[in-house]
A and B are shown apart, each in its own frame.
Chain A
Amino acid sequence: MLKQMKKDASFISGHINTGNQSIPIIKSQLSPRDHIGSIAVRLGYSRGNYRVKPGLYALGKPGEFSPVIVTANYKLTVDIVRRDLDGQNLWILVIDTAGINVWCAAGKGTFGSQNIAKWILKSGLNDIVKHRRLILPQLGATGVAAHTLQKHTGWIIQYGPVRSRDLPAFLKGEETPSMRTVSFNFFERLVLIPVEIYTGLKFMLITLSATVFYEVLLYLVRGEFHFTTIAPVIGGFIAGTIFVPLLLPVLPSRYFFVKGFFAAVSLWVPFVLILNPDLFTAISSLFISGSISSFLAFNFTGATTFTSLAGVRYEIRAALPFAMVLMISGLITIFFVRS
Protein backbone atom coordinates (compact mmCIF):
# COMPACT_ATOMS: atom_id res chain seq x y z
CA MET A 1 0.00 0.00 0.00
CA LEU A 2 2.70 2.46 1.05
CA LYS A 3 4.80 1.43 -1.93
CA GLN A 4 1.82 2.06 -4.17
CA MET A 5 1.35 5.55 -2.74
CA LYS A 6 5.02 6.40 -3.32
CA LYS A 7 4.74 5.40 -6.94
CA ASP A 8 2.03 8.06 -7.31
CA ALA A 9 4.65 10.77 -7.48
CA SER A 10 5.51 9.74 -11.04
CA PHE A 11 2.46 11.45 -12.53
CA ILE A 12 2.80 14.65 -10.50
CA SER A 13 4.62 17.44 -12.28
CA GLY A 14 4.61 20.07 -9.51
CA HIS A 15 2.39 21.95 -7.14
CA ILE A 16 0.02 24.91 -7.21
CA ASN A 17 -0.06 27.02 -4.08
CA THR A 18 -3.45 28.52 -3.35
CA GLY A 19 -4.05 30.14 0.01
CA ASN A 20 -2.47 27.87 2.57
CA GLN A 21 -2.73 24.76 0.40
CA SER A 22 -0.36 23.06 -1.97
CA ILE A 23 -2.24 21.17 -4.69
CA PRO A 24 -0.37 18.58 -6.76
CA ILE A 25 -0.47 19.10 -10.52
CA ILE A 26 -1.29 15.93 -12.41
CA LYS A 27 0.24 15.22 -15.83
CA SER A 28 -2.06 14.67 -18.79
CA GLN A 29 0.57 12.62 -20.60
CA LEU A 30 0.87 8.96 -19.68
CA SER A 31 4.34 7.57 -19.13
CA PRO A 32 5.58 4.11 -20.21
CA ARG A 33 5.23 3.09 -16.59
CA ASP A 34 1.53 4.08 -16.62
CA HIS A 35 0.99 2.01 -19.78
CA ILE A 36 2.72 -1.01 -18.26
CA GLY A 37 0.58 -0.64 -15.14
CA SER A 38 -2.57 -0.49 -17.28
CA ILE A 39 -1.59 -3.63 -19.19
CA ALA A 40 -0.79 -5.43 -15.92
CA VAL A 41 -4.21 -4.73 -14.34
CA ARG A 42 -5.97 -5.56 -17.63
CA LEU A 43 -4.28 -8.95 -17.37
CA GLY A 44 -5.62 -9.29 -13.85
CA TYR A 45 -2.39 -8.57 -11.99
CA SER A 46 -2.80 -6.68 -8.67
CA ARG A 47 -6.17 -5.27 -9.76
CA GLY A 48 -7.31 -4.77 -6.20
CA ASN A 49 -4.40 -2.55 -5.28
CA TYR A 50 -3.96 -0.19 -8.22
CA ARG A 51 -4.80 3.10 -6.66
CA VAL A 52 -4.05 6.77 -6.50
CA LYS A 53 -3.87 8.78 -3.29
CA PRO A 54 -7.30 10.41 -2.96
CA GLY A 55 -7.61 14.20 -2.75
CA LEU A 56 -7.64 17.26 -4.95
CA TYR A 57 -5.42 17.51 -8.04
CA ALA A 58 -4.89 20.27 -10.57
CA LEU A 59 -4.75 19.61 -14.30
CA GLY A 60 -3.23 22.36 -16.45
CA LYS A 61 -3.44 25.75 -14.76
CA PRO A 62 -6.81 25.92 -13.06
CA GLY A 63 -8.04 29.06 -11.28
CA GLU A 64 -10.75 29.81 -8.77
CA PHE A 65 -13.48 29.65 -11.42
CA SER A 66 -12.27 26.51 -13.20
CA PRO A 67 -14.53 23.45 -13.34
CA VAL A 68 -14.25 20.71 -10.73
CA ILE A 69 -14.71 17.11 -11.81
CA VAL A 70 -14.96 14.11 -9.50
CA THR A 71 -13.60 10.63 -10.07
CA ALA A 72 -12.63 7.40 -8.29
CA ASN A 73 -9.13 6.50 -7.09
CA TYR A 74 -8.66 3.44 -9.31
CA LYS A 75 -5.44 4.32 -11.10
CA LEU A 76 -6.69 2.98 -14.44
CA THR A 77 -9.64 5.40 -14.13
CA VAL A 78 -7.47 8.37 -13.14
CA ASP A 79 -5.08 7.66 -16.03
CA ILE A 80 -7.91 7.62 -18.59
CA VAL A 81 -9.45 10.79 -17.16
CA ARG A 82 -6.22 12.83 -17.17
CA ARG A 83 -5.27 11.63 -20.64
CA ASP A 84 -8.72 12.55 -21.99
CA LEU A 85 -8.53 16.01 -20.39
CA ASP A 86 -5.23 16.98 -21.99
CA GLY A 87 -5.23 20.73 -22.70
CA GLN A 88 -7.93 21.59 -20.15
CA ASN A 89 -7.50 23.66 -17.00
CA LEU A 90 -9.52 22.18 -14.17
CA TRP A 91 -9.58 20.57 -10.76
CA ILE A 92 -9.94 16.82 -10.28
CA LEU A 93 -11.32 15.62 -6.97
CA VAL A 94 -10.25 12.00 -6.56
CA ILE A 95 -12.33 10.35 -3.86
CA ASP A 96 -11.36 7.19 -2.00
CA THR A 97 -13.25 4.27 -3.52
CA ALA A 98 -10.68 1.70 -2.36
CA GLY A 99 -9.26 1.51 -5.87
CA ILE A 100 -12.56 0.53 -7.51
CA ASN A 101 -13.83 2.17 -10.71
CA VAL A 102 -16.70 4.70 -10.61
CA TRP A 103 -19.57 2.46 -11.73
CA CYS A 104 -18.75 -0.50 -9.49
CA ALA A 105 -17.93 1.80 -6.55
CA ALA A 106 -21.28 3.56 -7.05
CA GLY A 107 -22.97 0.14 -6.87
CA LYS A 108 -21.13 -0.63 -3.66
CA GLY A 109 -21.83 2.79 -2.15
CA THR A 110 -18.22 4.01 -1.87
CA PHE A 111 -18.76 6.39 -4.76
CA GLY A 112 -21.69 7.77 -2.80
CA SER A 113 -23.12 11.00 -1.43
CA GLN A 114 -21.55 10.65 2.01
CA ASN A 115 -18.07 9.86 0.78
CA ILE A 116 -18.12 12.66 -1.79
CA ALA A 117 -19.31 15.12 0.88
CA LYS A 118 -16.45 13.97 3.08
CA TRP A 119 -13.83 14.52 0.37
CA ILE A 120 -15.22 17.95 -0.54
CA LEU A 121 -14.53 19.00 3.05
CA LYS A 122 -11.25 17.15 3.40
CA SER A 123 -9.80 18.59 0.18
CA GLY A 124 -10.45 22.17 1.22
CA LEU A 125 -12.25 22.68 -2.09
CA ASN A 126 -14.59 25.24 -0.51
CA ASP A 127 -11.66 27.66 -0.13
CA ILE A 128 -9.93 26.90 -3.40
CA VAL A 129 -12.68 27.72 -5.89
CA LYS A 130 -15.23 30.53 -5.84
CA HIS A 131 -18.02 28.67 -7.63
CA ARG A 132 -20.08 25.76 -6.30
CA ARG A 133 -20.55 23.47 -9.29
CA LEU A 134 -19.37 19.88 -9.14
CA ILE A 135 -19.31 17.66 -12.22
CA LEU A 136 -19.80 13.97 -11.44
CA PRO A 137 -19.41 11.11 -13.91
CA GLN A 138 -22.85 9.95 -15.02
CA LEU A 139 -22.20 6.38 -13.96
CA GLY A 140 -21.70 7.65 -10.40
CA ALA A 141 -25.45 8.30 -10.30
CA THR A 142 -26.06 4.70 -9.21
CA GLY A 143 -24.53 5.63 -5.85
CA VAL A 144 -25.30 9.34 -5.55
CA ALA A 145 -28.57 11.16 -4.94
CA ALA A 146 -27.69 14.52 -6.50
CA HIS A 147 -30.41 16.46 -4.66
CA THR A 148 -29.38 15.05 -1.26
CA LEU A 149 -25.68 15.73 -1.83
CA GLN A 150 -26.58 19.23 -2.97
CA LYS A 151 -28.66 19.87 0.14
CA HIS A 152 -25.93 18.68 2.50
CA THR A 153 -22.91 20.33 0.88
CA GLY A 154 -24.30 23.40 -0.86
CA TRP A 155 -22.60 22.27 -4.08
CA ILE A 156 -24.68 22.10 -7.25
CA ILE A 157 -24.30 18.62 -8.66
CA GLN A 158 -24.17 18.13 -12.39
CA TYR A 159 -23.82 14.79 -14.14
CA GLY A 160 -21.25 14.80 -16.90
CA PRO A 161 -20.99 12.21 -19.67
CA VAL A 162 -20.48 8.45 -19.22
CA ARG A 163 -16.99 8.51 -20.75
CA SER A 164 -14.30 11.02 -19.83
CA ARG A 165 -13.34 11.43 -23.49
CA ASP A 166 -16.64 13.31 -23.96
CA LEU A 167 -15.82 15.71 -21.12
CA PRO A 168 -14.10 18.38 -23.28
CA ALA A 169 -17.23 18.57 -25.47
CA PHE A 170 -19.48 18.52 -22.41
CA LEU A 171 -17.52 21.41 -20.85
CA LYS A 172 -18.18 23.41 -24.03
CA GLY A 173 -21.89 22.85 -23.48
CA GLU A 174 -22.44 20.03 -25.96
CA GLU A 175 -24.64 17.11 -24.97
CA THR A 176 -25.65 14.19 -27.18
CA PRO A 177 -27.59 10.99 -26.35
CA SER A 178 -24.52 8.86 -27.12
CA MET A 179 -22.56 10.74 -24.43
CA ARG A 180 -25.17 9.53 -21.94
CA THR A 181 -25.30 5.90 -23.01
CA VAL A 182 -23.02 2.99 -22.12
CA SER A 183 -21.85 0.73 -24.91
CA PHE A 184 -20.45 -2.80 -25.02
CA ASN A 185 -18.71 -2.91 -28.36
CA PHE A 186 -16.23 -5.44 -29.71
CA PHE A 187 -13.18 -3.67 -28.28
CA GLU A 188 -14.81 -3.23 -24.87
CA ARG A 189 -15.52 -6.96 -24.80
CA LEU A 190 -12.05 -7.86 -26.12
CA VAL A 191 -10.20 -6.18 -23.24
CA LEU A 192 -12.21 -8.21 -20.72
CA ILE A 193 -10.88 -11.56 -21.96
CA PRO A 194 -7.59 -11.66 -19.98
CA VAL A 195 -9.39 -11.00 -16.70
CA GLU A 196 -12.04 -13.61 -17.59
CA ILE A 197 -9.27 -16.16 -18.15
CA TYR A 198 -7.43 -15.07 -15.00
CA THR A 199 -10.47 -15.30 -12.73
CA GLY A 200 -11.70 -18.49 -14.40
CA LEU A 201 -8.37 -20.29 -14.10
CA LYS A 202 -9.00 -21.51 -10.57
CA PHE A 203 -12.38 -22.87 -11.62
CA MET A 204 -10.77 -24.67 -14.55
CA LEU A 205 -8.03 -26.24 -12.41
CA ILE A 206 -10.63 -27.54 -9.94
CA THR A 207 -12.71 -28.97 -12.77
CA LEU A 208 -9.64 -30.46 -14.43
CA SER A 209 -8.42 -32.20 -11.28
CA ALA A 210 -11.94 -33.51 -10.61
CA THR A 211 -12.14 -34.99 -14.12
CA VAL A 212 -8.66 -36.48 -13.89
CA PHE A 213 -9.75 -38.11 -10.64
CA TYR A 214 -12.82 -39.44 -12.45
CA GLU A 215 -10.68 -40.81 -15.28
CA VAL A 216 -8.50 -42.63 -12.76
CA LEU A 217 -11.61 -44.19 -11.20
CA LEU A 218 -12.78 -45.25 -14.65
CA TYR A 219 -9.37 -46.79 -15.27
CA LEU A 220 -9.66 -48.83 -12.08
CA VAL A 221 -13.07 -50.07 -13.20
CA ARG A 222 -12.35 -50.75 -16.87
CA GLY A 223 -8.61 -51.07 -17.06
CA GLU A 224 -8.40 -48.62 -20.01
CA PHE A 225 -7.06 -45.08 -20.02
CA HIS A 226 -8.74 -42.50 -22.26
CA PHE A 227 -8.55 -39.00 -20.80
CA THR A 228 -11.62 -38.14 -22.82
CA THR A 229 -12.60 -35.41 -20.35
CA ILE A 230 -9.44 -33.30 -20.51
CA ALA A 231 -9.91 -31.76 -23.96
CA PRO A 232 -13.61 -30.84 -23.43
CA VAL A 233 -12.83 -29.22 -20.06
CA ILE A 234 -10.16 -27.02 -21.64
CA GLY A 235 -12.39 -26.46 -24.67
CA GLY A 236 -15.32 -25.40 -22.50
CA PHE A 237 -13.05 -23.02 -20.66
CA ILE A 238 -11.79 -21.45 -23.91
CA ALA A 239 -15.36 -21.14 -25.22
CA GLY A 240 -16.62 -19.57 -22.00
CA THR A 241 -13.82 -17.09 -21.42
CA ILE A 242 -12.86 -16.16 -25.00
CA PHE A 243 -15.66 -17.05 -27.43
CA VAL A 244 -18.47 -15.75 -25.20
CA PRO A 245 -17.09 -12.19 -24.85
CA LEU A 246 -16.03 -12.01 -28.51
CA LEU A 247 -19.17 -13.45 -30.09
CA LEU A 248 -21.70 -12.22 -27.51
CA PRO A 249 -24.09 -10.32 -29.84
CA VAL A 250 -24.16 -13.08 -32.49
CA LEU A 251 -24.56 -16.04 -30.14
CA PRO A 252 -28.22 -17.16 -30.21
CA SER A 253 -30.69 -16.37 -27.39
CA ARG A 254 -30.79 -13.61 -24.78
CA TYR A 255 -30.07 -16.14 -22.04
CA PHE A 256 -26.37 -16.14 -21.28
CA PHE A 257 -26.27 -19.81 -20.35
CA VAL A 258 -27.66 -20.65 -23.81
CA LYS A 259 -25.13 -18.32 -25.44
CA GLY A 260 -22.40 -20.17 -23.54
CA PHE A 261 -23.61 -23.54 -24.80
CA PHE A 262 -23.53 -22.30 -28.41
CA ALA A 263 -20.05 -20.88 -27.88
CA ALA A 264 -18.96 -24.41 -26.97
CA VAL A 265 -20.76 -25.82 -30.01
CA SER A 266 -18.86 -23.43 -32.29
CA LEU A 267 -15.61 -24.85 -30.94
CA TRP A 268 -16.84 -28.45 -30.85
CA VAL A 269 -18.01 -28.68 -34.50
CA PRO A 270 -14.59 -28.16 -36.15
CA PHE A 271 -12.97 -30.54 -33.68
CA VAL A 272 -15.44 -33.29 -34.47
CA LEU A 273 -15.08 -32.69 -38.21
CA ILE A 274 -11.29 -32.83 -38.06
CA LEU A 275 -10.69 -35.56 -35.47
CA ASN A 276 -13.74 -37.68 -36.30
CA PRO A 277 -14.01 -39.33 -32.87
CA ASP A 278 -16.39 -42.16 -31.96
CA LEU A 279 -19.99 -41.28 -31.12
CA PHE A 280 -19.68 -41.44 -27.34
CA THR A 281 -16.53 -39.31 -27.26
CA ALA A 282 -18.24 -36.73 -29.49
CA ILE A 283 -21.38 -36.62 -27.36
CA SER A 284 -19.57 -36.51 -24.04
CA SER A 285 -17.21 -33.77 -25.17
CA LEU A 286 -20.14 -31.64 -26.33
CA PHE A 287 -21.90 -32.14 -22.99
CA ILE A 288 -18.86 -31.40 -20.86
CA SER A 289 -17.57 -28.40 -22.81
CA GLY A 290 -21.15 -27.10 -23.14
CA SER A 291 -21.72 -27.37 -19.41
CA ILE A 292 -18.56 -25.45 -18.51
CA SER A 293 -18.99 -22.77 -21.15
CA SER A 294 -22.65 -22.36 -20.21
CA PHE A 295 -21.76 -21.78 -16.56
CA LEU A 296 -18.94 -19.37 -17.43
CA ALA A 297 -21.22 -17.41 -19.77
CA PHE A 298 -23.81 -17.11 -17.01
CA ASN A 299 -21.09 -15.67 -14.77
CA PHE A 300 -20.08 -13.28 -17.55
CA THR A 301 -23.35 -11.37 -16.99
CA GLY A 302 -21.54 -9.46 -14.24
CA ALA A 303 -18.93 -8.14 -16.66
CA THR A 304 -21.42 -6.77 -19.17
CA THR A 305 -22.96 -3.31 -19.17
CA PHE A 306 -26.57 -4.26 -19.76
CA THR A 307 -27.76 -7.21 -17.66
CA SER A 308 -30.31 -6.72 -14.87
CA LEU A 309 -30.65 -8.40 -11.49
CA ALA A 310 -34.20 -9.53 -12.36
CA GLY A 311 -32.91 -11.14 -15.56
CA VAL A 312 -30.06 -12.94 -13.79
CA ARG A 313 -32.45 -14.22 -11.12
CA TYR A 314 -34.79 -15.43 -13.84
CA GLU A 315 -32.13 -17.23 -15.83
CA ILE A 316 -30.32 -18.81 -12.87
CA ARG A 317 -33.21 -21.23 -12.30
CA ALA A 318 -32.56 -22.76 -15.69
CA ALA A 319 -28.81 -22.06 -15.99
CA LEU A 320 -27.56 -24.04 -13.01
CA PRO A 321 -29.68 -27.19 -13.57
CA PHE A 322 -28.78 -27.07 -17.27
CA ALA A 323 -25.03 -26.96 -16.55
CA MET A 324 -25.32 -29.69 -13.93
CA VAL A 325 -27.42 -32.11 -16.01
CA LEU A 326 -25.13 -31.58 -18.99
CA MET A 327 -22.02 -32.32 -16.92
CA ILE A 328 -23.49 -35.46 -15.37
CA SER A 329 -24.71 -36.70 -18.75
CA GLY A 330 -21.26 -36.07 -20.18
CA LEU A 331 -19.54 -38.02 -17.44
CA ILE A 332 -22.00 -40.92 -17.79
CA THR A 333 -21.48 -40.98 -21.58
CA ILE A 334 -17.71 -41.33 -21.12
CA PHE A 335 -18.34 -44.59 -19.36
CA PHE A 336 -19.45 -46.05 -22.71
CA VAL A 337 -16.37 -44.90 -24.65
CA ARG A 338 -14.41 -47.88 -25.87
CA SER A 339 -11.12 -47.86 -27.66
Chain B
Amino acid sequence: MRQKYITKILSLELDNKLCTGCGMCATVCPHGVFDIREGKAAASRKQYCMECGACKLNCRFNAISVNSGVGCGYAVIMGAIKGTGPDCGCSSGCC
Protein backbone atom coordinates (compact mmCIF):
# COMPACT_ATOMS: atom_id res chain seq x y z
CA MET B 1 0.00 0.00 0.00
CA ARG B 2 1.40 3.36 -1.08
CA GLN B 3 1.29 5.94 1.70
CA LYS B 4 0.57 9.61 1.21
CA TYR B 5 1.36 12.48 3.55
CA ILE B 6 -0.14 15.97 3.82
CA THR B 7 -0.16 17.32 0.25
CA LYS B 8 -1.66 20.79 0.65
CA ILE B 9 1.46 22.91 0.81
CA LEU B 10 4.11 21.00 -1.15
CA SER B 11 6.75 23.35 -2.54
CA LEU B 12 7.79 21.42 -5.68
CA GLU B 13 7.64 23.57 -8.83
CA LEU B 14 8.72 22.72 -12.36
CA ASP B 15 9.62 25.37 -14.94
CA ASN B 16 8.41 23.99 -18.22
CA LYS B 17 10.40 26.53 -20.27
CA LEU B 18 13.76 25.51 -18.78
CA CYS B 19 13.05 21.78 -18.86
CA THR B 20 14.70 19.81 -21.66
CA GLY B 21 13.10 16.49 -20.80
CA CYS B 22 16.45 14.83 -20.04
CA GLY B 23 14.75 12.60 -17.48
CA MET B 24 17.25 13.03 -14.66
CA CYS B 25 14.50 14.07 -12.18
CA ALA B 26 12.55 10.90 -12.98
CA THR B 27 15.70 8.83 -12.40
CA VAL B 28 16.57 10.25 -8.99
CA CYS B 29 13.08 10.71 -7.51
CA PRO B 30 12.52 8.00 -4.87
CA HIS B 31 8.73 8.36 -5.13
CA GLY B 32 8.21 8.25 -8.89
CA VAL B 33 6.78 11.78 -8.97
CA PHE B 34 7.92 12.59 -12.52
CA ASP B 35 6.92 11.39 -15.97
CA ILE B 36 8.56 12.45 -19.22
CA ARG B 37 5.86 13.34 -21.72
CA GLU B 38 6.47 14.82 -25.17
CA GLY B 39 10.02 15.84 -24.36
CA LYS B 40 9.18 17.55 -21.05
CA ALA B 41 9.07 16.43 -17.44
CA ALA B 42 5.71 16.49 -15.67
CA ALA B 43 5.19 16.16 -11.91
CA SER B 44 2.26 13.80 -12.46
CA ARG B 45 2.38 12.32 -8.97
CA LYS B 46 3.34 15.41 -7.02
CA GLN B 47 1.21 14.21 -4.08
CA TYR B 48 3.94 11.70 -3.25
CA CYS B 49 6.72 14.33 -3.11
CA MET B 50 8.69 14.27 0.16
CA GLU B 51 10.79 17.34 -0.70
CA CYS B 52 14.12 15.51 -0.48
CA GLY B 53 15.54 17.85 -3.14
CA ALA B 54 17.29 15.18 -5.26
CA CYS B 55 15.54 16.36 -8.46
CA LYS B 56 16.42 20.01 -7.92
CA LEU B 57 20.05 19.25 -7.13
CA ASN B 58 20.45 17.00 -10.16
CA CYS B 59 18.65 19.25 -12.66
CA ARG B 60 21.45 20.88 -14.61
CA PHE B 61 18.98 23.28 -16.25
CA ASN B 62 17.69 24.65 -12.93
CA ALA B 63 14.15 23.87 -13.99
CA ILE B 64 13.07 22.59 -10.58
CA SER B 65 12.55 24.46 -7.35
CA VAL B 66 11.66 22.82 -4.07
CA ASN B 67 12.14 23.88 -0.48
CA SER B 68 13.96 20.73 0.48
CA GLY B 69 14.68 19.46 3.97
CA VAL B 70 14.05 16.64 6.38
CA GLY B 71 10.42 15.74 6.99
CA CYS B 72 11.17 15.02 10.63
CA GLY B 73 9.07 16.33 13.50
CA TYR B 74 11.92 16.06 15.97
CA ALA B 75 14.27 18.02 13.69
CA VAL B 76 11.69 20.77 13.19
CA ILE B 77 11.16 21.09 16.95
CA MET B 78 14.91 21.11 17.69
CA GLY B 79 15.51 23.59 14.87
CA ALA B 80 12.87 25.92 16.34
CA ILE B 81 14.38 25.66 19.83
CA LYS B 82 17.95 26.20 18.68
CA GLY B 83 16.96 28.88 16.21
CA THR B 84 18.59 26.99 13.36
CA GLY B 85 16.90 25.38 10.39
CA PRO B 86 15.26 21.98 10.73
CA ASP B 87 18.33 19.79 10.93
CA CYS B 88 18.81 16.55 12.80
CA GLY B 89 22.36 17.74 13.46
CA CYS B 90 23.14 14.43 15.08
CA SER B 91 26.28 12.57 14.19
CA SER B 92 24.83 9.77 16.24
CA GLY B 93 21.36 9.31 17.61
CA CYS B 94 18.54 9.47 15.09
CA CYS B 95 19.36 8.97 11.44
Residues from chain A with a CB closer than 8 A to the CB of B29 are 180
With a CB–CB cut-off of 8 A, which chain B residues contact A316? Answer: 73, 76-77
Specify which chain B residues have a CB less than 8 angstroms from the CB of A139 in the assembled complex. Answer: 30, 54
Decide if B18 is an interface residue (CB 8 Å cutoff). Answer: no
Q: Which of A100, A181, A249 contacts B91 (CB 8 A)?
A: A100
- Which of B6, B24, B77, B95 is close to A314, meaning CB atoms less than 8 Å apart? B6
Distance in Å: Cβ of A96 to nearest Cβ of chain B = 12
State whether B52 touches A142 (Cβ < 8 A).
yes
- Please indicate the chain A residues that have their CB under 8 angstroms from the CB of B28 in the complex: 138, 141, 159
Contact indicator A308/B49 (Cβ below 8 Å): yes
Q: What class of interface size applies to chain A in its complex with B?
A: 35 or more
A306-B5, A311-B9 as given contacts; A319 in contact with B91, CB under 8 Å: no
B9 to chain A, nearest CB (A): 5
A1 to B60, CA, bound (A): 39
Q: A314-B9, A316-B76 are in contact. Are A144 and B57 (CB under 8 A)?
A: yes
Asked, given contacts A100-B95, A180-B27, A316-B77, whether A309 binds B86 with beta carbons under 8 Å apart, the answer is: yes
Q: Which of A53-61, A209-217, A295-303 contacts B (4 or more CB under 8 A)?
A: A295-303
Determine if A130 is an interface residue (Cβ-Cβ < 8 Å): no
A248 within 8 A of B: yes
**Is A43 part of the binding interface, using a Cβ–Cβ cutoff of 8 Å?**
no
Residue pair B92, A302 in contact (C-beta under 8 Å):
no
Quick check: A255 and B27 within 8 Å, CB to CB? Answer: no
Q: Mark A24-48, 1 if CB is under 8 A from B, else 0.
A: 0000000000000000000000011
Most buried by A among B67, B73, B75: B73
> Chain B contact residues: over half helix, strand or loop, or mixed?
loop
Q: Is the CB of B50 within 8 A of A308?
A: yes
Within 8 A of A (CB), among B21-58: 24, 27-32, 48-54, 57-58
Question: How does the 8 Å CB contact mask read for B1-30 relative to A, with 1 for contact and 0 for none?
Answer: 101111111110000000000001001111
Q: B88 interface residue, CB < 8 Å from A?
A: yes
A129 part of interface (Cβ distance < 8 Å): no
B60–A162 contact, CB under 8 A? no
Q: How far is the CA of A143 from the CA of B70 in the complex (A)?
A: 12
Give every chain A residue within 8 A of B4 (Cβ-Cβ): 254, 306
Q: Restricting to A163-221, which residues have a CB under 8 Å from any CB of B?
A: 177, 180-182, 184, 199
* Interface majority SS (helix, strand, loop, mixed), chain A: helix
Contact across chains for A47 and B76 when beta carbons are under 8 A apart: no
Q: Which residues in A have their C-beta under 8 angstroms from that of B50?
A: 305-308
Q: Is the CB of A314 within 8 A of B86?
A: no
Set of chain A residues within 8 Å of B95, measured between Cβ atoms? 100-101, 103-104, 107, 302-303
Instruction: Say whether, besides A98-B91, A254-B5, A305-B30, A142 and B49 are in contact (CB < 8 Å).
Output: no
Distance (whole angstroms) from the CB of B93 to the closest CB of chain A: 7
Q: Would B27 and A311 count as touching, CB distance under 8 A?
A: no
Residues of chain B with a CB closer than 8 A to A301's CB:
71-73
Q: Tell me whether B8 and A314 are in contact (CB under 8 A).
A: yes
B60 to chain A, nearest CB (A): 4
CB-nearest residue of chain B to A319: B73
User: Which residues of B sit under 8 angstroms from A108, Cβ to Cβ?
Assistant: 87-88
In the complex, the answer to whether B91 meets A48 with C-beta atoms within 8 Å is yes
> Inside 8 A of B70's CB, which chain A residues have their CB?
107, 302, 309
Q: Which residues of A contact B77 (CB under 8 A)?
A: 299, 316, 320
A window 269-325: CB within 8 A of B: 298-316, 319-320
Give chain A residues whose Cβ lies under 8 Å from the Cβ of B3.
Answer: 184, 248-249, 304, 306
* Apart from the given pairs A145-B57, A146-B24, A180-B30, 17 other A-B contacts in the complex at a CB distance below 8 Å: A103-B95, A138-B30, A139-B30, A142-B54, A180-B29, A199-B94, A249-B1, A300-B73, A306-B4, A306-B48, A307-B50, A308-B10, A308-B71, A309-B70, A309-B86, A311-B71, A312-B73
Give 9 nearest A-B pairs by CB, closest first: A48-B92, A302-B72, A307-B71, A309-B69, A141-B28, A311-B6, A141-B54, A104-B95, A308-B51
Interface CB pairs A-B, < 8 A, 8: A139-B30, A146-B58, A181-B30, A184-B3, A302-B70, A306-B4, A308-B71, A316-B77
